[in-house]
């Protein structure tokens, strides 16, 4: 046991699940190798890390005002580090604009965190760096669930997206390492894993270790052989790679949760071409239809960008048409935001700011109406729920296999159990029920 007093780490994470996982990895490194403990109070921290996102412009422009605030509030000797995608994208520019920042560490480099904190002015944002064989310590944010990276980077070139510039090209993590990590997590009580990658169903195209071989479907089959593991989720599959083999595995493998995120981006085949997404409106709808036919209670979520530079009214009508037909269970809507070093940055736009805002509003309103129509149909259905949280009022909260948040009252402690729940009441964002 170390006799040194603990140092305190404050970490703020923006953006996606992958950033959350990167933060967990950095916390594990710092706690295991450098005697840190987490604090939720910035003023107490000896080290402050911002793990940033650069997918849209707004969070990037907020970064410098946030850094200014932190610099005022922090303990005098506390170090500040900027990590993640904006670190990759702005690199040493960050220290130029905010000289009190101690280090900048790109999204592909989180394993170097213990090195970064030692050197004032450390900047490392190389996107060729291979992190796939790196085995991090584990920092558990949730008792029953664990995020597992299966690939890093992205090989696509969607014309709107900055991610390939910040996270580099796609490399799959060797299957043996993934299976090892999951087995270890399961031995520690984890029941559900969330497999992470920019395009999970492209898994296996490129490994850094030339001896590795596996497709995503094979990976899913092997993971599901881990006995004590109950549930598998993944985010996100790319619509282009959703072939029949993948869909069959998704619907027939009982351990795979029937909740799938399929990023549409646009419902117009023309805009999809301008975005270089590689699929058409018809292909996307066909994939969703096939999944809905084969899996009764499946829930489908999506990402939609409105106001892409070439989006005409007719193109937007196509997006509305897809929403009406697919009836997504959840939509993450974004107004197009021009990003540096992307192809679409140079497209001239036919969409005014007002049009983009109005289209966003229309998507939100339509989706709300659809959800209000759909939620009552859950009454009297039975869902398998993994209970993972107890509220202050004593109620238990869990998630169904298909991703609904479900709340129940129960005398006995049911945390960590998967139980059948009969739905008795609905709200827009969650359901209530009774254990049967
Ligand atoms: N392949 C990843 C996507 C990462 S970016 C995945 O699905 O896991 C997450 C989402 O941000 C994208 O699906 C897209 O809808 C949105 N997005 C990306 N770049 C954008 C931009 N320039 N403007 C607005 N939204 C954007
Ligand atoms: Fe971005 Fe397209 Fe990859 S949205 S992360 S370039 S699949």
255 located within any domain: yes
Which of the four pLDDT bands, split at 50, 70 and 90, describes residue 283?
Answer: very high
- Which atom of ligand 1 is nearest the CA belonging to 261? 7
Q: Do 293 and 169 share a structural domain?
A: yes
> Is the CB–ligand 2 distance for residue 378 below 6 Å?
no
Nearest C-alpha neighbor of 42 from the set 5, 8, 15: 8
- State whether the beta carbon of 16 lies less than 6 angstroms from ligand 2: no
- The per-residue DSSP string of 170-219 comes to -EEPPHHHHHHHHHHHHHTT--EEEEE-TTGGGTTS-BSSTT----HHHH
Q: Ligand 1 centre and the CA of 305: distance in Å?
A: 8
Collapsing DSSP to helix, strand or coil, 147 comes out as strand
**55 C-alpha vs ligand 1 centroid, how far in Å?**
6
Number of domains in the chain: 3
CATH number of the domain within which 308 lies = 3.80.30.20
Measure CA 161 to chain center: 15
19: Cβ below 6 Å to ligand 1? Answer: no
Q: Are the CB atoms for 326 and 285 separated by under 8 Å? A: yes
Per-residue pLDDT at 209: 82
**304 and 410 together in one domain:** no
Instruction: Say yes or no: CB of residue 387 within 6 Å of ligand 1.
Output: no
Same domain, 358 and 229: yes
What average pLDDT does the segment 2-16 reach? 87
**Nearest Cα to 127, choosing from 173, 164, 81, 90?**
164
The pLDDT value given to residue 3 = 62
pLDDT(191) > 70 = yes
Does the pLDDT at position 1 exceed 70?
A: no
Contact predicate 89/166, CB 8 Å: yes
Atom of ligand 2 nearest to the CA of 162: 1
| Domain range enclosing 385 | 379-435
Average pLDDT over residues 334-361: 97
Residues 228 and 103 both lie in one domain: no
DSSP type of residue 20: H
Considering the domain architecture, whether residues 369 and 383 belong to the same structural domain is answered as no
Nearest ligand (C-alpha, residue 160): 1
Q: Which residue has the higher pLDDT, 59 or 155?
A: 155
Check whether 394 has a pLDDT greater than 90.
yes
Residue 400 and residue 370 in one domain: no
339 lines ligand 1 (CB under 6 A): yes
Say if residue 189 is in the same domain as residue 304. Answer: yes
Report yes or no on 130 lying in a domain. Answer: no
In a domain, 218, yes or no: yes
Short-list 73, 123, 118, CA closest to 99: 123
Residue 140 lies in a domain: no
Span from the CA of 17 to the centroid of ligand 2 (angstroms): 15
The closest-lying atom of ligand 2 relative to the alpha carbon of residue 263 is 4
pLDDT digits (tens, 9 = 90+) for 229-258: 999 999 999 999 999 999 999 999 999 999
Domain final position from 324, 356, 375: 375
Q: Which ligand has the shortest distance to the CA of 235? A: 1
| Residue 257 shares a structural domain with residue 365 | yes
Backbone angles phi, psi at 209, to 5 degrees: -85, 110
Check residue 217 and give its pLDDT: 98
Q: What's the pLDDT score for residue 304?
A: 98
46 Cα–ligand 2 center, Å = 36
Structure-token pair, residue 361: 């509003």
Ligand 2 centroid – CA 162 distance (Å): 8
Is the pLDDT at 5 greater than 80? The verdict is no
* Residue 2 located in a structural domain: no
Nearest CA to ligand 2 atom 1: 161
Task: Work out the pLDDT band at 194, boundaries 50, 70, 90.
Answer: very high
Q: Give yes or no: residues 368 and 394 share one domain.
A: no
- The chain-wide mean pLDDT, for the chain, equals 96
Question: What is the Å distance from ligand 1's center to 17 Cα?
Answer: 13
Task: Let me know whether 39 and 113 are in one domain.
Answer: yes
Smallest CA-to-CA distance from 133 within 60, 210, 198, 30 is with 210
Contact (Cβ atoms closer than 8 angstroms) between residue 51 and residue 26: yes
For ligand 1, say whether the CB of 234 is within 6 Å of any of its atoms.
no
Q: Which of 358, 375, 392 is the last residue of a domain?
A: 375
Does pLDDT of 323 surpass 90?
A: yes
Query: Phi and psi dihedrals of 159, rounded to 5?
Result: -70, -15
The Å distance, Cα 372 to ligand 2 centre, comes to 31
Q: Is the pTM of this model over 0.75?
A: yes
| Whether pLDDT at 322 is above 60 | yes
Ligand number nearest to the C-alpha of 198: 1
Q: Give percent of the chain with pLDDT exceeding 90.
A: 93
88: CATH: 3.40.50.12160
Question: Domain for residue 312, yes or no?
Answer: yes
Helix-strand-coil split of the chain, %, nearest 5: 35, 25, 40
Among all ligands shown, which has an atom nearest to the Cα of 168?
A: 2
Q: Is 94 left (phi over 0), alpha (psi -120 to 50) or beta?
A: alpha
The answer to whether residues 149 and 287 belong to one domain is yes
Sheet holding 299-306, edge to edge: 259-261, 299-306, 330-335
Strands (E), 351-417: 382-390, 396-400, 405-408
Instruction: Give the Å distance between the CA of 195 and the centre of ligand 1.
Output: 18
Which pLDDT band, with edges at 50, 70 and 90, does 210 fall under?
confident
Measured CA distances, 135 to 25, 41, 89, 104, 148 (Å): 9, 29, 25, 22, 11
For residue 208, what pLDDT is reported? 82
Q: Is the peptide bond before 236 cis (omega within 30 degrees of 0)?
A: yes
Establish whether residue 53 lines the binding site of ligand 2, counting it when its CB lies within 6 angstroms of any ligand atom: no
> Residue 139 falls within a domain, yes or no?
no
Position 75 pLDDT exceeds 60: yes
Residues 51 and 170 in one domain: no
Last residue within a domain, chosen from 375, 403, 420 = 375
Residue 394 lies inside a defined structural domain of this protein: yes
Tokens of 162: 């900055």
Upstream peptide bond of 297 is cis (omega within 30 degrees of 0): no
Residue owning the nearest CA to atom 11 of ligand 1: 55
CATH of the domain at 390: 2.40.50.140
Closest ligand 2 atom, CA of 157? 6
Task: Point out the ligand nearest to the CA of residue 309.
Answer: 1
Pocket test for ligand 1, best of 107, 159, 197, 263 (most atoms within 8 A of CB): 263
Determine the distance separating the centroid of ligand 2 and the alpha carbon of 22, expressed in angstroms. Answer: 18
Q: Is the predicted pLDDT of residue 128 greater than 80, yes or no? A: yes
């Amino acid at each position: 046991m170390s006799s040194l007093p603990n140092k305190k780490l404050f970490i703020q994470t923006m953006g996606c699940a992958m950033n959350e996982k990167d933060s967990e990895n950095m916390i594990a490194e710092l706690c295991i190798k450098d005697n840190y403990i987490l604090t939720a109070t910035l003023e107490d921290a000896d080290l402050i890390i911002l793990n940033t996102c650069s997918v849209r412009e707004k969070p990037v422009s907020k970064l410098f005002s946030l850094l200014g605030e932190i610099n005022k509030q922090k303990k005098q000797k506390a170090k500040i580090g900027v990590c993640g995608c904006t670190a990759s994208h702005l690199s040493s520019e960050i220290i130029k604009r905010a000289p009190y920042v101690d280090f900048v560490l790109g999204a592909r480099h989180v394993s170097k965190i213990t090195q970064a904190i030692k050197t004032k002015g450390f900047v490392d944002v190389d996107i060729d760096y291979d992190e796939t064989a790196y085995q991090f310590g584990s920092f558990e944010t949730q008792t029953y669930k664990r995020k597992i990276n299966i690939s890093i980077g992205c090989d696509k070139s969607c014309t709107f997206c900055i991610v390939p510039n910040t996270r580099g090209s796609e490399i799959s993590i060797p299957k043996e390492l993934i299976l090892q990590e999951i087995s270890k997590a399961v031995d520690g009580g984890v029941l559900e894993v969330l497999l992470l990658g920019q395009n999970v169903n492209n898994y296996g195209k490129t490994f850094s270790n030339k001896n590795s071989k596996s497709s995503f479907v094979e990976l899913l089959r092997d993971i599901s052989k881990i006995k004590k593991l109950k549930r598998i989720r993944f985010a996100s599959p790319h619509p282009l790679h959703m072939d029949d083999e993948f869909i069959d595995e998704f619907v027939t493998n009982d351990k795979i949760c029937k909740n799938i995120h399929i990023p549409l981006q646009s419902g117009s085949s023309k805009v999809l071409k301008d975005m270089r997404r590689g699929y058409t409106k018809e292909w996307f709808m066909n994939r969703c239809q096939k999944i809905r036919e084969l899996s009764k209670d499946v829930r489908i979520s999506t990402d939609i960008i409105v106001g892409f530079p070439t989006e005409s009214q007719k193109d937007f009508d196509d997006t509305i048409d897809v929403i009406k037909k697919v009836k997504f269970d959840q939509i993450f809507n974004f107004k197009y935001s021009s990003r540096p070093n992307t192809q679409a940055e140079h497209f001239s736009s036919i969409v005014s700011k007002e049009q983009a805002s109005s289209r966003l509003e229309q998507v939100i309103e339509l989706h709300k109406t659809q959800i209000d129509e759909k939620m009552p149909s859950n009454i009297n259905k039975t869902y398998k729920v993994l209970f993972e949280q107890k509220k202050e009022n004593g109620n238990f909260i869990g998630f169904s296999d298909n991703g609904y948040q479900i709340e129940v009252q129960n005398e006995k402690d049911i945390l960590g159990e998967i139980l059948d729940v009969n739905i008795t009441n609905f709200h827009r964002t969650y359901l209530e029920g009774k254990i049967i």
